[in-house]
């Protein structure tokens, strides 16, 4: 079947531009053929001014979005360069609207700029080159209250720096922030390169970040070592650092990593959490801590006000795409600090990518996961969706349940445990993580496969003990509740079985998969068990779309009505 044709995908024979890999569409999306000889060249061009939106197997979709163009402009790219770049890779003539829009958007970068006012560090000057934008800003009641006219621009208090940037981005004009950043208290810190060797892309990303003024976002896939990037940046800048993470578990992992890979001692790296609120040269806290209201400080957020008063020279935002909305507002207060955002994707479920751009900074560096997979820096993952019939005794209950109850019945399908047992048996020599959302089946699963189970109620000490045993190889199977979703650093795991899903949450799915992406021989395998013909199958479809758009290979297999059949039969791929 596959040898029968043809001339090339999206073929345009007899055209001199045939050798070009990209098709540029009127909505500023760019389709790039991965197997085309011109792919590498085109990808290099697009990396400068387009976001990678989807990267399924054969065709990647980029988008020349406004933010991507402003990122490019911030990096010094001109409209001519972008247009010529697109022409150079485009198989067909550029749609006329594209050139116009690119020139318009890039022309907007630099129209508004924030600068220092000599002799007055508490005030900033906002210069606006276009009268239309000036009038628009002056007409906005909320913003007008924060600024006062001054010649061709406005003066504003330094603490309103973030708000003004947000407001201007909201009307389509990014602010070129040239105002000073607080140097921060110095910190003697170096990377322990005797213990690890940073990957070249990690060094490059730090270099790009620092050269661009030390505020912006680095985009690396899960498992690519974003923590290392942050540590290298801390070492490069040598300043006191506040690290904000997604939760306590992640915070502890950060601390462990920093202690292991830098010259800092136990006292230098502190956790600012609910139980212990230590502040040190490097302090690690969580978004939820910062968002907690209370106190009489300037922002009426106790912990934020407490931490904001420290002389941080760098603030690190882990998983910046998860930055909760209240923290955005608080982040606006931290505009005078160097800011490093770390993420696997700039796409936010709430669509607030613009706020990340305005408040953290433009994207400074990114590497698609496929490249790292090719180079062996992250593991090659294969995803299997295994369909399991709903247990006979549960069918009536499911049929008569309310829509609210149905996901739980499907998720707790007892027949999944049999399938899990067979998977574990098949992967006898592997390190297997089992993750699920419902606790009862997790207990059953743990009992069936003889593995410890960690839930939210497991004491921290026990958790650490199990994690350590897993890393050391003493335990080869571990069952986790949702606590395992984020930042559990178990790089040895190479098989993950999700026995109940994430209600279709794309981020959660990606995070779970990320647990097994650390490079290892033989790659990684991700199983998700889905109860057939139930709402779970529908939710699995959303996750399937997300994972395939990310470029993972995804197979769907039916385990049959009974438990006798082996996954992977019926002509499907052979399971690992």
Partner 1 sequence: MARKKHQDGPAGPRSTDLETARALFPLAVDFAKVTGLAQTLELPLGASGVKAVAEALGSEERITRALEPLPAATLWVLELAADLGGGVVRDDLVALAENVGLAGEALDVAIDAAMGACLVFVVERRRMYYSESEDYVVLPLHGALAIARRVQGISVPEPPLASPTANTSPLRDILAVLTLPAHHPVKLTLAQLPNRTSLKRVAGALSMDIDTLERAFWAGLDAGVLGMRDGLLAPAPEALRRHDGTTRGAVASYVGSEWTSLERIARFRAGVLYAQSPELAHQQWDDTLVQLPTTPGVERCEHEGHTFVRRIAGGPATDWRAGSGDGHVTPSLEVMLGPDCHPRLALEVGLFAELVRIDRVLTFKLTRDSVAAGASLGLDLAHMLAVLDRVGRHAVPDNVQVTVRDFAKAARFVTIWPAQVLTASSVEAADRLASELGDKVLERPTPTMILVAAAEKDVANRAARAGVPSAGQIVSTQHPLEHGPVTQRALPERRPTPSLRARFLASKDALATTAPTRGPSGIVAALLAAATDEPVRAMLTVALELWREVEAPFAVWMKTLDLDDHNEALLMAQATPLAFAPLLMMEPVARDATFARSKTLEALVRRMTGEHRDSFAGRRLGKLMRHPAAERYFFESISGVVHALGSLADGEAAPRIGSPPSEKAIDLVDGRPRAADLGAQSTAALRSALDGYVSTGTDVWLRVRSKSGERVLHYLPEQLLTRGREVTLLGTDLDDEASRSFPLNAVIAARPTGFETKH
Q: Which residues bind partner 1 (CB under 8 A)?
A: 1-2, 4-17, 23-27, 31, 54, 56-59, 92-93, 95, 385, 537, 541, 544-545, 548-549, 553-557, 572-573
Q: Which residue, 70 or 552, is less far from partner 1 as judged by CB?
A: 552
- Degrees, nearest 5: CA angle 305-310-316: 90
Q: Which residue, 24 or 417, is less far from partner 1 as judged by CB?
A: 24
**Partners of 244 in the beta sheet?**
285, 317
**CA pair distance 503, 489, nearest whole angstrom:** 24
Least CB distance to partner 1 at residue 53 (A): 11
Q: Which residue, 190 or 538, is less far from partner 1 as judged by CB?
A: 538
Q: Which residue, 511 or 544, is less far from partner 1 as judged by CB?
A: 544
Q: Which residue, 3 or 473, is less far from partner 1 as judged by CB?
A: 3
Least CB distance to partner 1 at residue 548 (A): 4
Q: Which residue, 361 or 551, is less far from partner 1 as judged by CB?
A: 551
Q: Which residue, 97 or 468, is less far from partner 1 as judged by CB?
A: 97
Q: What are phi and psi of 111, to 5 degrees?
A: -65, -40
Nearest to 252 by CA among 452, 432, 460: 460
- b/e for 530-561, b at 16 or more Cβ within 10 A? bbbebbbbebbebbbebbbebbbebebbbbbe
Nearest to 153 by CA among 116, 105, 106, 122: 116
Least CB distance to partner 1 at residue 557 (A): 8
With a CB cutoff of 8 Å and minimum separation 6, the contacts of 310 are 240, 242, 279, 283
Q: Which residue, 8 or 452, is less far from partner 1 as judged by CB?
A: 8
Q: Which residue, 5 or 393, is less far from partner 1 as judged by CB?
A: 5
DSSP string, 60-128: EEEE--HHHHHHHHHTT--HHHHHHHHHHHBSSPPPHHHHHHHHHHHHHTTTEEEEEETTEEEEEEEEE
Q: Which residue, 345 or 481, is less far from partner 1 as judged by CB?
A: 345
Q: Which residue, 5 or 276, is less far from partner 1 as judged by CB?
A: 5
Q: At what angle do helices 226-237 and 200-211 cross, to 10 degrees?
A: 50
| Residue pointed to by tokens 């490019």 | 72
SS (H, E, C) 412-429: CCCHHHHHHHHHHHHCCC
Least CB distance to partner 1 at residue 91 (A): 8
Q: Which residue, 24 or 212, is less far from partner 1 as judged by CB?
A: 24
Contact 367, 201 (CB under 8 A): yes
Q: At what angle do helices 248-261 and 226-237 cross, to 10 degrees?
A: 60
Least CB distance to partner 1 at residue 514 (A): 19
Least CB distance to partner 1 at residue 15 (A): 5
Nearest to 474 by CA among 465, 482, 483: 465
Look at phi and psi of residue 216 and say left if phi exceeds 0, alpha if psi is from -120 to 50, else beta.
left
**CA pair distance 241, 122, nearest whole angstrom:** 22
Element spanning 530, H or E = strand 524-531
Query: Is residue 6 reached through a cis peptide bond, with omega within 30 degrees of 0 on the bond before it?
Result: yes
Least CB distance to partner 1 at residue 26 (A): 5
Least CB distance to partner 1 at residue 126 (A): 35
**CA pair distance 55, 371, nearest whole angstrom:** 11
Least CB distance to partner 1 at residue 562 (A): 20
Least CB distance to partner 1 at residue 354 (A): 21
Least CB distance to partner 1 at residue 102 (A): 17
Least CB distance to partner 1 at residue 116 (A): 44
């Amino acid at each position: 079947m596959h040898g029968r044709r043809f001339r090339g995908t999206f073929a345009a024979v007899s055209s001199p531009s045939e050798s070009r890999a990209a098709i540029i569409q009127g909505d500023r999306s760019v389709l790039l053929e991965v197997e085309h000889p011109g792919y590498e060249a085109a990808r290099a061009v697009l990396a400068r001014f387009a976001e990678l939106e989807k990267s399924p197997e054969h065709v990647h979709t980029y988008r020349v979005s406004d933010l991507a163009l402003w990122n490019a402009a911030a990096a010094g790219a001109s409209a001519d360069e972008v247009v010529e770049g697109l022409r150079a890779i485009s198989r067909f003539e550029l749609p006329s609207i594209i050139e116009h829009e690119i020139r318009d958007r890039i022309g907007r970068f630099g129209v508004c700029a924030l600068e220092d006012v000599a002799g007055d560090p508490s005030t900033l000057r906002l210069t606006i080159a276009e009268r239309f934008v000036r009038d628009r800003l002056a007409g906005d009641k909320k913003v007008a209250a924060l600024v006062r006219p001054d010649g061709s621009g406005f003066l504003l208090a330094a603490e309103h720096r973030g708000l003004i940037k947000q407001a201007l981005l909201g009307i389509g004009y990014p602010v070129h922030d040239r105002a000073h950043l607080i140097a921060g208290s110095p910190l003697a810190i170096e990377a322990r390169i005797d213990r690890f060797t940073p990957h070249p892309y990690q060094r490059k990303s730090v270099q790009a970040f620092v050269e661009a003024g030390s505020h912006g976002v680095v985009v690396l896939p899960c498992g690519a070592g974003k923590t290392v990037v942050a540590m290298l940046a801390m070492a490069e800048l040598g300043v006191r650092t506040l690290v904000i993470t997604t939760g306590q578990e992640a915070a502890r992992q950060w601390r462990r990593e920093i202690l292991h890979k830098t010259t800092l001692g136990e006292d230098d790296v502190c956790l600012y959490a609910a139980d212990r609120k230590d502040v040190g040269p490097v302090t690690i806290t969580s978004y939820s801590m910062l968002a907690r209201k209370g106190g009489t400080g300037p922002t009426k957020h106790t912990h934020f006000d407490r931490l904001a008063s420290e002389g941080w020279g760098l603030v690190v935002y882990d998983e910046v795409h998860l930055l909760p909305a209240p923290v955005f507002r608080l982040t606006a207060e931290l505009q005078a600090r160097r800011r490093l955002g770390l993420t696997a994707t700039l796409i936010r479920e709430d669509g607030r990518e613009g706020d990340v751009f305005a408040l953290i900074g433009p994207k400074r560096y990114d590497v698609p996961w496929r490249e790292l997979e090719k180079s062996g820096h992250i593991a090659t993952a294969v995803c299997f969706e295994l369909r399991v019939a709903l247990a006979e005794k549960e069918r009536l209950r499911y049929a008569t349940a309310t829509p609210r109850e149905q996901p739980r019945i499907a998720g707790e399908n007892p027949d999944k445990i049999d399938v899990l047992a067979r998977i574990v048996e098949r992967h006898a020599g592997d390190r297997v993580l089992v993750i699920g959302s419902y606790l009862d089946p997790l207990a059953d699963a743990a009992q069936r496969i003889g593995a410890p189970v960690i839930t939210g109620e497991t004491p921290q000490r026990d958790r650490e003990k199990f994690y350590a045993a897993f890393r050391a190889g003493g335990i080869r199977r571990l069952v986790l509740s949702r606590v395992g979703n984020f930042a559990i650093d178990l790089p040895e795991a190479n098989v993950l079985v999700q026995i109940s899903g994430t209600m279709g949450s794309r981020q959660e799915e990606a995070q779970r998969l990320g647990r097994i992406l650390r490079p290892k021989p033989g790659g990684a395998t991700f199983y998700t068990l889905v109860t057939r013909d139930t709402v779970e199958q529908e939710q699995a479809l959303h996750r399937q779309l997300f994972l395939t758009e990310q470029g993972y290979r995804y197979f769907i297999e039916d385990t049959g009505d009974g438990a006798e059949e082996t996954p992977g039969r019926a002509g499907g791929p052979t399971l690992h």
